[in-house]
Structure 1
Amino acid sequence: MTVAIFALLTPLLLKAQYTISGSVSEKNNQTFLPGATVILKSTGKGTKTSTQGKYLLKDVKAGTYILMVSYLGYETQQKTVDITGNQVIGFSLVNSAFLADEVIVMATRAAEKSATTYKNVSKSDIEANNFGQDLPFILNNTPGVVVTSEAGGGVGYTGIRIRGSDATRVNVTVNGIPLNDAESQGSFWVNMPDFASSVENIQIQRGVGTSTNGAGAFGGSLNIQTSAPGLMPYAEVNNTFGTFNTFKNTVKIGTGLIDNKFSFDGRLSRIQSDGFIDRGASLLKSFFVSGAYHGKTDLLRVNIFSGSERTYQSWNGIPEARLRGDIKGMNDYIARNELDEEDAANLLNSNSRKYNSFLYKDQNDNYWQDHYQLLYAKQLSNVFSLNAALHYTRGRGYYEEYKKNEEFSSYGLENPVINGAEVEVTNLVRRRWLDNDFYGVTYSLNYKPQSNLNFTLGGAYNQYRGEHYGQITWSQVSSTLNNSDRYYDGDGNKNDFNIFGKMTYNPAEKLSLFADLQYRRVTYEITGTDNDLRNLRINDELNFFNPKVGATYTVDHSNNIYASLSLANKEGNRDDYVNANLGTVPDPERLYDVEAGYRTQHSRFNAGINVYGMFYKDQLVVTGKLSDVGSPFRQNVPKSYRIGVEVDGSYTISKYFMVNANAAISRNKIKNFTEYLDNSDTDLQEEYEHKNTDISFSPGAVIFGELVYKPVKNFALALQSKYVGKQYLDNTQNESRKLNGYWVNGARLGYDFSFKGVKNMNIGLLANNILNKKYESNGYTYGYIYGGVTTRENFYFPQAGANFLLSLNVKF
């Protein structure tokens, strides 16, 4: 009978599940370590220690496992455990033999219990998605993100929006050093090709986030940490081939830790692509080298990285009539814009989704950018630590254009006289140059007098010096201008100082409070002549105070809730100043950001939900006016807002299947907006008032889902699907000027294996838009009145249909 009962109970006993709990402390003084990472290897189970250094893992089946604990600045520990019942296992960690690179970015990052919404993208996530496309496309699957590519395939000029906010409102730092261009305030990833291959991890903060360096974050921030050294010497070769003759070739080498103190790492990359759009070709080159000294209490690192790009211009987009195949509309467009025979034939005969208005063989954008970083971190004592960095960025480049029937007077030139007659126009080739220097210092001092109290004092001082000038390199009708002469010449000088103080305090085991106060001072001067030959003398001085407060309540080991209130201020970009009415400057933007959320983490399931309200005063929005290179003019609007909810989670269904998903649902409105239309008949501007309209390029829904299938070890297949709701091209919420919503599907697979002499070989395939969806991810519009008729011109940027990238990565 006993044997029979035991036999009946055996299946139940085998299915029994237990818990593993314990604490993690510092070995020398037995101080508990909050936030230590605890992982039960090969199960997908993991957690973080509480403020008292305690951890709990639930639902562990009987068996033998490896339990691993890691904590910044301490050596990782592993223990083999036999689980036949509930277990209590403690860890005492010892200080690492060297200071870890993560300390470089700690001052500007959100932590697990920070009262803000963020997404960490790990090195493995980056590697799995890195097939040579620009960094925005690697981040495309994160909440609330929309990406676009001028050439249609993700190589060349690309853009990213977070919560509908464009790149000028997304603060980007690399190792805490500002990356955004000081004047345009954008981040141009085409100047940093294959940079993802030298990135350790990225934290995306949505909304205002924590205090950081550089331009103010309104839509979000990207906090990037470059690669940490491998412990052992390595070499890596990565090659990618894909549609549109896309190639990526990358070589990486590293010494590992030499004598447990020194390391050297390097990367050399080349990317080329014909692009989906006609003549939308790119040739991109870059390198990254890094050397470091790793002491037990200090870290000294030197990074030098550089990129060069040659990209055929495709920034004019496709006229709506060409996109729709409307012959009458195209002929009307030809007549309105007085296209010559060559340009008219190009419009009429091109592929509807690949049309490029440029035909000149050297209609290229050319730019070179070099970055130098000197990073230092020091653990001064058990309670004090210091980070500091010196940096210098050198940028120079131009875009070349062939222009037809240009007036000499538009270039400040007298009309030449030929055979006794004045010639007023000519065909010519011009170059518009940007030559700039950006340099400064960043720092942070951390003070942690006790386990429940933490202070950080940080900041930066940066200077930007930029030259903007133009040259005529060829003219069909000769003029008095030499090739090297500058027909316009202007300067932009900007100084940016900020200092911030952060405090985190845990008055009780489950409650964490934080305060973050930042003062920022900006001085900006624009002088010389602009490209339309206007004389510029603009000066502005701005002082901003950006406070943030919040609280996090830990319900238990797996759940916490948080809320925060933040105020942010931000100056306009160069175009906002140059295009403002004479003698005026744009008002700075102000943002009140409210965030609240709930996070839960379990062995097989983790999720977060965040609700937010972003309320703007004097937000700068597009008006409908454009510059001669298609840049939109912007104006202040008194009141606007974004409110929404974001959900992000993953669920491990079984050892074979896992689901990742996120969604961002939002409402984005301008309360009152004035639209301007040029009236050529009166030489005045007509004004049209609009109320409660959608903010342009702000979809009401962005949804992503991924099903990951792992049938065997080292092989994974991911099916991905993303939906982006409709977006308006301007702020009038007019249905005739919009981007339709689109649903795009893709797949990614990877297989890892190894053999003698090779540490790892990975074969990867990225299949984009596998259902060949025809969609446009970006565009612009403008209007005018001529001959009593109102004309609206819409332009779109189609994205590629079904395409693929195949990679082979070999690590030695």
Structure 2
Amino acid sequence: MKKFYAFVIVTMLSISAIAQTTINGRVTDENGEALVGVNVIIQNSYNGTITDSDGDYSISTKETIPSLVFSYVGYKTQTVEVQGSTVNTTLSTVAVLTDEVIVSAIKAGNKAPIAYTNITKAQLKERPAADDIPYMLSLTPSAVATSETGIGVGYTALRIRGTDPTRINVTINGVPLNDPESQGVFWVNMPDFTSSVDEVQIQRGVGTSTNGAAAFGASINFQTTSINDQASARIESTAGSFNTFVNSVNASTGLLNDKFAFDVRYSKLQSDGYIDYAFSDHQSLYVSGSMLTNNGLLKMNLIYGDQKTGISWWGVPQEMLFKPEWEGDDWEPNRTYNPAGEYTDEFGNTQYYEGQTDNYKQTHYQLFYSHAVNSQFNINGALHYTRGDGYYEQYKEDEAYADYGWNPIMIGDATIDETDLIRQKWLENDFYGFTASANYRGDNYSASFGGGWNRYEGDHFGEVIWARYAGTSEKGDRWYDNYGEKTYYNFFAKVNYRPTEALNTFLDLQLRQISYQMDGIDDDLLPLIQSHNFNFFNPKVGLSYDVNKQQQAYFSVGVSNREPTRTNFKDAKGDAMSYPKAERLIDFETGYNYRSSNLSASVNFFYMLYDDQLVPTGEKNNVGADIMTNVKDSYRTGVEFVFGAKIIEGLNWDGNLSLSANKIKDFVEYSSLSDENWNPIGQKVTELGTTDIAYSPDVISSSILSYAFNSNVKMSWITKYVGEQFFDNTSSSDRMLDAYLINNLKIDVSLFPQFAKRIGLQVMVNNLMDVEYENNAYGGNYYQRDASGVDTEYTWAYYYPQAGRHFMTKLVLEF
């Protein structure tokens, strides 16, 4: 983007002190029965409470004419403007048909003794322009987002408490999203998905039982668009640096004939990225239809994503970022260098293959049904099916015929046994299953039970689409072809029991069973024939105590077990003794929450004890392949501080700070060892004792300082700090990412003309201080032994540099 924007900031408005008043009332259903546990919140504040066993509540505020928001699962949310000191309200049971019922079985309630964060629809709408999902969630506690393209678009990832994406359970409306084989989530396949999301809940640690993959560090649940009474439309257009453009159209019919509702969204995203050739060309479609009956809700979702992305996952080699010893004074760093696609032609000239791309299409079909048996009991069921097809394409130089199962050929008197070629690695998969749950709410207890059954079928194969010397190969020949089948199911039961008005106890039990088979030939032409079965029992127990209406304390302990990924298993092929074992986590959480009209604060302590955690150690199996190794003892422990403060009228400060220690006990490193002529002579084994777990910063902090000048203009100063982190498990300073502090400035302007509900303009200045930093890397070490027997260590590493100061603007039209 070649033109930048200039801004004029108006003077802050003066404010006056407001006396505090107390509001009392009772909440009942349509039959006049008291509703227990209804959330009562002062609108646009952190001040909230819940109704007691008689449906009564009491709340204090300094607002002159506040509005109260009453929300309760199974009932319609109401906003009431306060005109006196007493506000009684009746909630309609028509909300038993709302979408929140679908996720109520796996969602943590306000009494759950765990650490969680809710992100509302209003907060999602204010998200920074063009942010992918990991960056949108990166300001929550203990979260760190990474980007291959350098600007948070394209391939991005999220770690929470240092745990990688394969250990974070993700669901959409309770339906599993994690790929069953890799156990990761590829956000690039779901561009602009948050435009169709009403709420996100992040549970840190083991959390509560959910469907799909094990939560080994966190779980994230997305609740998609809910039924709205009124028709609406939203047009959103983002433009910014690096030729970044995101355009979307979103429309909702509202409730038709008190029975039907439809939502649709189409989005298109394009960007060149900061890193060379790291372009993004994505589009997505979301369609949702709902039908209400007297006691039920039938809902269908279609979520489609189509992405074409320039490969940038190799990173930038360290010698391009940091001056090597052998370089002269004229050396300069090349922060945007991308080795993917680079090759040397037959005349020795450096070329770039522009077809070096990742291509994938994925379509999710979801069908939900919820039925309210009565005001206390409801049942839910969902069917889902996901189809994915895609490949990544590479230009490869001097590839040996033998690596593709080809025979050498003769051209004249010359024997040809290698060639330049272009290959595609394909994945075609089907993922389908169902989930079900039932929920009951009594006077002093509530219970949920349910589960799910899922099956995954994945076909992995490779094709050479061009070769300089193709020999006898035919177009469409597959040099490898293997198949994976994974079937897994789970059952869970949860009970919340309140023996007294202040004390709530929690019990959560889950059973998981996994069956996984692989068959065929891998890309190294070795057989990939394996079968694995696992049975897990994951109990969780906890309690919370209301000190008073403003303060709550809690404690919980939970167990989670996790099976290895496809990569963990296939890297050990040919050596059954190297097959990885399942991992186990025991998670202890205890915390304290405080809420008032001007302050929300919490502190959470955690201790996560791992047994047989899988980490890279450099160890190889008996056929020489790198494998992930189970380490017996490792742990994460720390404290998370979260706060939100209304400093003065219009000025708010939200932030969090995570301090942690993340350690592996008795770590043993295995490194390649060569002689003075670089001939391999084995592995060097080093006992390092207690080391730091890779990608686990000791300090993570976020801050949003925002000031609303009036209802039209709001400015936010956004800060993210991530401390030093190692990118292997040796605690070596040679393989460490430096700490970084990033500041962003966001200005939101809203206008309310007669012809539209709202016109919004957002201007975002990212990395305001133009900091040079890298937020991700990978690498390792090796040793050379000289003639005298002295070993010298060397490091190899690839980094992911991030863009300096850059700009994004977003224009929104709402009708």
Give, in whole Å, the separation in 2 of the partners of 1:625 and 1:743. Answer: 35
- Which residue of the other structure, out of 301, 304, 307, is the alignment partner of 1:306? 304
Displacement of 1:633: 4.3
Paired residue secondary structure (1:577): helix
1:508 aligns with 2:472: no
- Which residue of the other structure, out of 479, 490, 495, is the alignment partner of 1:498? 490
Q: Which amino acid aligns with 1:53?
A: G
Q: Which moved more, 1:679-688 or 1:394-403?
A: 679-688
Displacement of 1:679: 3.4
Aligned residues of 2:746 and 2:763 also touching (Cα < 8 A):
yes
- Which residue of the other structure, out of 590, 593, 601, is the alignment partner of 1:599? 593
> Equivalent residue for 1:369?
362
Give, in whole Å, the separation in 2 of the partners of 1:522 and 1:157. Answer: 29
1:791 aligns with 2:774: no
Paired residue secondary structure (2:299): strand
Aligned residues of 2:321 and 2:333 also touching (Cα < 8 A):
no
- Which residue of the other structure, out of 314, 321, 335, is the alignment partner of 1:352? 335
Aligned residues of 1:98 and 1:296 also touching (Cα < 8 A):
no
Displacement of 1:240: 0.2
Displacement of 1:328: 2.2
Q: 1:604 to 1:131 in 2, by over 3 A?
A: same
Give me the TM-score of the superposition, normalised by structure 1.
Answer: 0.92
Correspondences of 1:379-390 after superposition (within 5 Å): 379-390=372-383
> Equivalent residue for 2:75?
74
Paired residue secondary structure (2:125): helix
Aligned residues of 1:277 and 1:353 also touching (Cα < 8 A):
yes
Q: 1:589 to 1:329 in 2, by over 3 A?
A: farther
> Equivalent residue for 1:133?
131
Aligned residues of 2:96 and 2:372 also touching (Cα < 8 A):
no
> Equivalent residue for 1:6?
none
Q: 1:14 to 1:276 in 2, by over 3 A?
A: closer
Q: Which amino acid aligns with 2:163?
A: S
> Equivalent residue for 1:478?
470
Displacement of 1:91: 2.4
Aligned residues of 2:311 and 2:340 also touching (Cα < 8 A):
no
Q: 1:567 to 1:78 in 2, by over 3 A?
A: closer
Give, in whole Å, the separation in 2 of the partners of 1:100 and 1:116. Answer: 25
Give, in whole Å, the separation in 2 of the partners of 1:78 and 1:758. Answer: 23
Give, in whole Å, the separation in 2 of the partners of 1:42 and 1:420. Answer: 82
> Equivalent residue for 2:111?
113
Q: 1:660 to 1:626 in 2, by over 3 A?
A: farther
Q: 1:330 to 1:501 in 2, by over 3 A?
A: farther
Q: Which amino acid aligns with 2:561?
A: N
Give, in whole Å, the separation in 2 of the partners of 1:445 and 1:565. Answer: 24
Correspondences of 1:140-151 after superposition (within 5 Å): 140-151=138-149
Q: 1:666 to 1:156 in 2, by over 3 A?
A: same
Aligned residues of 1:134 and 1:155 also touching (Cα < 8 A):
yes
Q: 1:392 to 1:82 in 2, by over 3 A?
A: closer
> Equivalent residue for 1:608?
602
Q: Which moved more, 1:451-460 or 1:112-121?
A: 451-460
Q: Which amino acid aligns with 1:741?
A: A
Displacement of 1:732: 0.4
Give, in whole Å, the separation in 2 of the partners of 1:52 and 1:740. Answer: 55
Paired residue secondary structure (1:731): coil
> Equivalent residue for 1:343?
none
> Equivalent residue for 1:197?
195
- Which residue of the other structure, out of 731, 735, 743, is the alignment partner of 1:737? 735
Paired residue secondary structure (1:572): coil
Aligned residues of 2:281 and 2:307 also touching (Cα < 8 A):
yes
Correspondences of 1:40-439 after superposition (within 5 Å): 40-41=42-43, 45-60=47-62, 63-83=64-84, 87-96=85-94, 99-326=97-324, 328=326, 351-358=334-341, 359-439=352-432
Give, in whole Å, the separation in 1 of the partners of 2:473 and 2:312. Answer: 29
Displacement of 1:90: 2.6
Q: Which amino acid aligns with 2:198?
A: E
Displacement of 1:471: 0.7
Aligned residues of 1:615 and 1:640 also touching (Cα < 8 A):
yes
Give, in whole Å, the separation in 1 of the partners of 2:171 and 2:546. Answer: 30
Displacement of 1:682: 4.2
- Which residue of the other structure, out of 634, 639, 645, is the alignment partner of 2:633? 639
Give, in whole Å, the separation in 2 of the partners of 1:553 and 1:178. Answer: 32
Paired residue secondary structure (1:373): strand
Give, in whole Å, the separation in 2 of the partners of 1:352 and 1:721. Answer: 23
Paired residue secondary structure (1:314): coil
> Equivalent residue for 1:771?
769
Aligned residues of 1:232 and 1:256 also touching (Cα < 8 A):
yes
Aligned residues of 1:694 and 1:731 also touching (Cα < 8 A):
yes
> Equivalent residue for 1:344?
none
Aligned residues of 2:619 and 2:669 also touching (Cα < 8 A):
no
Displacement of 1:527: 1.0
- Which residue of the other structure, out of 802, 805, 808, is the alignment partner of 1:805? 808
1:445 aligns with 2:438: yes
Q: 1:218 to 1:52 in 2, by over 3 A?
A: farther
Displacement of 1:417: 1.3
- Which residue of the other structure, out of 509, 529, 534, is the alignment partner of 1:537? 529
Q: Deviations over 1:74-103 (max 9, x none)?
A: 3444554445xxx34332333226611111
Aligned residues of 1:20 and 1:60 also touching (Cα < 8 A):
no
Paired residue secondary structure (2:406): coil
Displacement of 1:613: 0.2
Give, in whole Å, the separation in 1 of the partners of 2:454 and 2:328. Answer: 49
CA RMSD in angstroms comes to 2.2
Unaligned runs of 5+ in 1: 1-12, 332-346
Give, in whole Å, the separation in 2 of the partners of 1:235 and 1:21. Answer: 38
Q: Deviations over 1:398-456 (max 9, x none)?
A: 110011111111111111111133112111111111111000001101133x2211121
> Equivalent residue for 2:669?
675
> Equivalent residue for 1:18?
21
Aligned residues of 1:568 and 1:591 also touching (Cα < 8 A):
yes
- Which residue of the other structure, out of 567, 585, 590, is the alignment partner of 2:584? 590
Aligned residues of 1:322 and 1:348 also touching (Cα < 8 A):
no
Displacement of 1:701: 0.3
Q: Deviations over 1:704-729 (max 9, x none)?
A: 11211111223110001111000101
Aligned residues of 1:322 and 1:330 also touching (Cα < 8 A):
no
Aligned residues of 2:322 and 2:333 also touching (Cα < 8 A):
no
> Equivalent residue for 1:577?
569
- Which residue of the other structure, out of 611, 620, 636, is the alignment partner of 2:614? 620
Paired residue secondary structure (1:747): strand
Q: Deviations over 1:642-667 (max 9, x none)?
A: 00000111000111211111011000
Give, in whole Å, the separation in 2 of the partners of 1:421 and 1:415. Answer: 10
Unaligned runs of 5+ in 2: 1-15, 342-351, 787-791
Displacement of 1:254: 1.3
Q: Which amino acid aligns with 2:140?
A: T
Q: Which amino acid aligns with 1:601?
A: R
Q: Deviations over 1:177-214 (max 9, x none)?
A: 00001001110000011101111110000000000111
Give, in whole Å, the separation in 2 of the partners of 1:330 and 1:525. Answer: 54
Aligned residues of 1:610 and 1:645 also touching (Cα < 8 A):
yes
Paired residue secondary structure (1:755): coil
Give, in whole Å, the separation in 2 of the partners of 1:221 and 1:181. Answer: 14
Q: 1:76 to 1:206 in 2, by over 3 A?
A: closer
Give, in whole Å, the separation in 2 of the partners of 1:689 and 1:503. Answer: 46
Q: Deviations over 1:504-542 (max 9, x none)?
A: 100111110010000000001111111111101111110
Q: Deviations over 1:47-66 (max 9, x none)?
A: 333454332222435x4444
Q: Which moved more, 1:113-122 or 1:96-105?
A: 96-105
Q: 1:749 to 1:295 in 2, by over 3 A?
A: farther
Aligned residues of 2:335 and 2:801 also touching (Cα < 8 A):
no
Aligned residues of 1:625 and 1:782 also touching (Cα < 8 A):
no
Aligned residues of 2:276 and 2:336 also touching (Cα < 8 A):
no
Give, in whole Å, the separation in 2 of the partners of 1:442 and 1:364. Answer: 35
